Structure 1
Amino acid sequence: MKTIEGGWPKEAKFEPTFLGYEYTDQDSFRKEVEQIWMKTWLLAGRIEEVPNVGDYFTIQLEKESLICMRTQEGSIQTYYNVCMHRGSRLCEEGTGNMSKGYITCPYHSWMYDGETGKLLSAPNIPRETEEFSCEKVQLHSVRTEIWDGYIWINMDPNAPSLEESFRLPESWSIYEKYDMKNLRIGSQKTYTVHANWKLLMENASECYHCGNIHPELSRVTPPNRPRQWIDKNIPDTEVLKHVGAMELKPGLERVNLDGKAYRPPFPNLKEEDVSKIYYLHFFPHSYICMASDYVFVAAMWPIDVDKTIVKGYWLFTPEVLENKEPIQDAIDIWDITSKEDWEACEWAQQGNESRVYESGGILTPIDWRVAKFKHYVHKKLEEPF
């Protein structure tokens, strides 16, 4: 593990930010949706959100709505939330259960197979005629893969596999210790942020702001403590970014509001890991914060050029949840920190809309991870459509 001298690597430099219009222009936003969001793997949720046959949740990405569901065969499939009859939304609720894993349109009761997406029946319509065949009608599916309990989706049918895209190693020296696939959701929250999605990811990519707007987090993980980055066994790929670790203030035991231990640490952690919180970023929209006794996950979904929905998940061991051990301390620290972040992003959105910010601002060497994110976005936008 390397420690950054002075807070940033030697190659970091001063450079421009995104231009102002890149945070406010509707055409630019649409291009980002098509060139980035429709072509990459996105963290949709956790498998325990759909434990039973027919369980589903929906995802909103700009104008597209998706259904992620547990099928009759026990697999998890994702479909566009659009009936192939006359375009009605199939599911209006954010979560629910579809009886026996069949997807039935609320408008005209066309019913689809949850496993294959094929049309099973259409009331008062023959299954087979010269002009119509149920067998040939099918919901539009979205590629879905499971990785360590996380559900990942990709709307590009020709995209490389999740493993190829991330170049995931068989074993990570840090990540594997958390046994993610066996963790369970202890709490979920959804936030609406009136800011461009890039501002949220930029904010998550640096801690330059932490001492100013995160007094609670800074009390337990002071931003001036040594920061570590890029473990040699974790691939720093185009999409998967290991941001690093922050250390607890000496004398404190956990990353929460008072620094006290309310749960035992994860069993596979070494003593040196218990005093840190590790961060993983997945471009373009999610990050995982790995504390010694819980994991916090955030996934951002752009709805409009100046509106983003964030879904937050708090993960714990099954034993902690079954034994009803306290978890509110973990929820509070990241709920407070997240709300502080989202307010700051809204400040930035308001400033970005000013005529004096048309040419953008300045990224300093300490903003080097923000610069990496900017380069990622621009590279994606330059790729053939």
Structure 2
Amino acid sequence: MGLKPVNVDEWQGAIFVSLDPNAPPLTSWLTDHYSLPRELEKFNLATLKNARTTIDEVKANWKVLAENYSECLHCGVVHPELVDLVPVYKTGKTTQEDRSDWGVSLSPGATSLSFKKDENLPLLPSMDDLDDYSVFGAYVYPNMLIDISPTVAVFTRYVPRSATHTTIYTYYLFPKEVVDNPEFDLEPTISFSDLVNQQDISVCVRVQRGVASRSFSNAYHTNMERDCKQLIRRYRAEIS
């Protein structure tokens, strides 16, 4: 008896593994995603270097975390620092109606998602081709998040441990010349992203406690939670 072969492929610096012997090619599978992650290929993410990895043990189901990421109705209350820099998030929306590239503009005068206004970090590849300083994001089903702002790309990976426990790995990616140069201060940018993560984690832990209550009852997704609906539909289709 030999080891069982599995499908392994790479995309934008991330390794994907599938146990399905009939799995389609990775690029085809990614193209089929409603969040259009392949639109982010223009940023050449594979050329970036990981500056730090954080690990969080969260008492919440991975689907609670994924749904939270897929909507922004909570943003105005939960993420005051973030919505100050990304005004459209304050409205509960995750996209900007006057843009066709799925990007969202930063507030006037803002050049990055950071606690330091003038951090002086080089822009990511292709960011200088945009008219506005912008952020982009994509959820790669089932357990990967990609968030891109002018100076940093953040990869997030959910690893379910049980129905009520998820390990979150977060990777902070910058241009190699930035990571290798000690004169660049990455802490304000990493700390800002980590703050947003911790705010989300706090909410998701409370949601997990809520859905465990005997008084919990299901409700409907609103039009601004369409990505959450897409997630649930895909999950149900795959387990049925």
The TM-score normalised by the length of structure 2 is 0.87
Sequence identity (%)? 26
The answer on 1:320 being equivalent to 2:178 is yes
When residues 177 and 274 of structure 1 are mapped into structure 2, their CA distance, relative to the original with a 3 A threshold, is farther
1:297 Cα deviation from its structure 2 partner: 0.8
The answer on 1:269 being equivalent to 2:127 is yes
Aligned-partner SS, 1:362: coil
Contact 1:274 1:291 in 2 (8 A): no
> How many aligned residue pairs are there?
232
When residues 274 and 322 of structure 1 are mapped into structure 2, their CA distance, relative to the original with a 3 A threshold, is farther
When residues 267 and 307 of structure 1 are mapped into structure 2, their CA distance, relative to the original with a 3 A threshold, is closer
> Greater helix percent: which structure?
2
Instruction: Determine the structure 2 residue equivalent to 1:47.
Output: none
Instruction: Determine the structure 2 residue equivalent to 1:157.
Output: 21
Instruction: Determine the structure 2 residue equivalent to 1:366.
Output: 224
Contact 2:158 2:168 in 1 (8 A): yes
Instruction: Determine the structure 1 residue equivalent to 2:96.
Output: 228
1:162 Cα deviation from its structure 2 partner: 1.0
Instruction: Determine the structure 2 residue equivalent to 1:345.
Output: 204
The answer on 1:330 being equivalent to 2:189 is yes
Instruction: Determine the structure 2 residue equivalent to 1:189.
Output: 54
Task: State the distance in 1 between where 2:141 and 2:109 align.
Answer: 34
Instruction: Determine the structure 1 residue equivalent to 2:105.
Output: 247
Task: State the distance in 1 between where 2:131 and 2:139 align.
Answer: 19
Instruction: Determine the structure 1 residue equivalent to 2:9.
Output: 145
The answer on 1:279 being equivalent to 2:111 is no
When residues 196 and 187 of structure 1 are mapped into structure 2, their CA distance, relative to the original with a 3 A threshold, is same
The TM-score normalised by the length of structure 1 is 0.56
Instruction: Determine the structure 2 residue equivalent to 1:241.
Output: none
Task: State the distance in 2 between where 1:196 and 1:173 align.
Answer: 27
When residues 376 and 278 of structure 1 are mapped into structure 2, their CA distance, relative to the original with a 3 A threshold, is same
Return 5+ residue gaps in structure 1 as ranges: 1-136, 234-243
RMSD, aligned CA: 2.4
Aligned-partner SS, 1:190: strand
The answer on 1:205 being equivalent to 2:64 is no
1:232 Cα deviation from its structure 2 partner: 6.8
Paired AA for residue 328 in structure 1: E
- Largest Rg, 1 or 2: 1
Instruction: Determine the structure 2 residue equivalent to 1:90.
Output: none
| Per-residue deviation, residues 36-74 of structure 1 (Å, max 9, x unmatched) | xxxxxxxxxxxxxxxxxxxxxxxxxxxxxxxxxxxxxxx
The answer on 1:179 being equivalent to 2:44 is yes
Task: State the distance in 1 between where 2:141 and 2:22 align.
Answer: 19
When residues 201 and 173 of structure 1 are mapped into structure 2, their CA distance, relative to the original with a 3 A threshold, is closer
Task: State the distance in 1 between where 2:113 and 2:192 align.
Answer: 8
The answer on 1:299 being equivalent to 2:164 is no
Instruction: Determine the structure 2 residue equivalent to 1:218.
Output: 83
Instruction: Determine the structure 2 residue equivalent to 1:354.
Output: 213
When residues 337 and 215 of structure 1 are mapped into structure 2, their CA distance, relative to the original with a 3 A threshold, is same
Instruction: Determine the structure 2 residue equivalent to 1:381.
Output: 239
